[in-house]
Homo-oligomer: A and B are copies of this chain.
Amino acid sequence: MSVTEVELPPIFCPLEPGIHSRVRDIEARAEKWVRSSGMGGDEELAWIVASHSADFFARFAPTADADRLLVAALWVYWGFGFDDARCDNGPLSADPGAFAALAGRVQRAVEAPSAASASEPYIPALKDIVGRFRAFGGPAQLRRFAVAHRAWLSGVTWQIGNASRGHMPDLDEFLAMRLLSSGGEPTFAMLELATGVEVPGREMHRPVVRALTEMAIAIAALDNDRHSLRKELSRGHTDQNVYTVLMRHQDLSVQEAVDAATRLRDRVMLRFLDVQERVLPQAGEELRHYLSGLRYGVRGNAEWGLRVPRYLSLGHVPGGLDDTPLEWAQRPATDDRSPLRLPAVAWWWDEDLLSR
């Protein structure tokens, strides 16, 4: 099936959008930083800039302080650059042993201000970003970001390991891996750093708040698989995403996989909406702020993904942000509110656990 024959249904996302009023100013400052970051050559930097990460994170935290938002955006630029250069392409993308060592050194640079860069140009740039976080973030916020950063790298190592041995995970393994490798953990952990609003540990670590965070990550990750499908198909990529997993293990065509993935994603969205509605009335002010960040983030990720040249440009020169109006689904692709029969995530429907 060719690229143009796949019909991608519009996204169901009944969440309020938002974007920071100073997004263009922040984006300009971020681009200047990227171009002087030393992370790569001109073409690499052009693609990093074209991720429009400031636009991305300005949608996650529309009310944040602009200076803090800038630093969070810098990490997103950094993350896209690192992902493209060291995870998805290049010699390490098929060498889990070498990647695990790089991931270990990168993570040490997040946790130990004195850590060495050892000839990896992405490490000094990361240390600059984390040093800025350290200047305004509280100890718990910094720690939450650091552990989220490790979670992401562990997921990337898992994905590279699968690719290196030609292992296509089943849907259950894929979701557990994708929750990590998508980068959603550090991205959402930056909500607190950007807004300065810290959720008390007794609320943040409740199973129900973890479940909502994971669901937000899952929705955004599945939306990103959707965003990149045309590009993946046009390039003949057969890497691990929700469609290749469904096609392989459930013997589906591309179109059938698109429809099945949409239903899967919408079931998670329905659960996210239901659980959130129940949590909000009992949530403290900081938690309410965090949950609004999850909603803004899911919505913002979808809007950004529908327009960003990272996913839309099939050629080598990244274009600008598309600005055609977006079309949204009026209803979910399914009304099924029963628990997903996927052990890795079935606990999102565990009423007993979520009421603790």
Residues of A within 8 A of B (CB): 95-101, 103-105, 107-108, 111-116, 138-140, 142-143, 147, 150-151, 153-155, 157-158, 160-162, 164-165, 167, 169, 172-173, 176-177, 180, 201-202, 204-207, 210, 343-347, 350, 353, 356
Contact = CB atoms under 8 A, between A and B. Distances in A.
The 3 A-B residue pairs with the shortest CB-CB distance, nearest first, are A97-B161, A139-B205, A116-B343
Contact of A155 (B104, B105, B142, B205): B104
Given A114-B347, A150-B154, A207-B139, A100 B96 contact: yes
A173 B101 contact: yes
A173 B116 CA distance: 9
Contacts of A169: 101
Contact of A162 (B101, B161, B164, B202): B101
Nearest to A211: B112
Given A112-B345, A114-B344, A114-B350, 9 more contacts: A97-B160, A97-B161, A98-B165, A100-B161, A112-B347, A114-B346, A139-B204, A147-B147, A154-B154
Given A107-B154, A112-B347, A115-B344, A161 B96 contact: yes
A104 B158 contact: yes
Contact of A164 (B97, B167, B176): B97
A154 to B, nearest CB: 5
A286 B350 CA distance: 32
A344 B108 CA distance: 7
A92 to B, nearest CB: 11
Contacts of A112: 176, 343-347
Given A115-B344, A139-B206, A162 B97 contact: yes
Nearest to A94: B97
Nearest to A97: B161
A153 B153 CA distance: 12
Contacts of A150: 147, 150-151, 154
A100 B95 CA distance: 12
* A138, A154, A173: residue with the most chain B Cβ atoms closer than 10 Å: A154
Nearest to A159: B100
A126 B162 CA distance: 24
Contacts of A113: 347, 350, 353
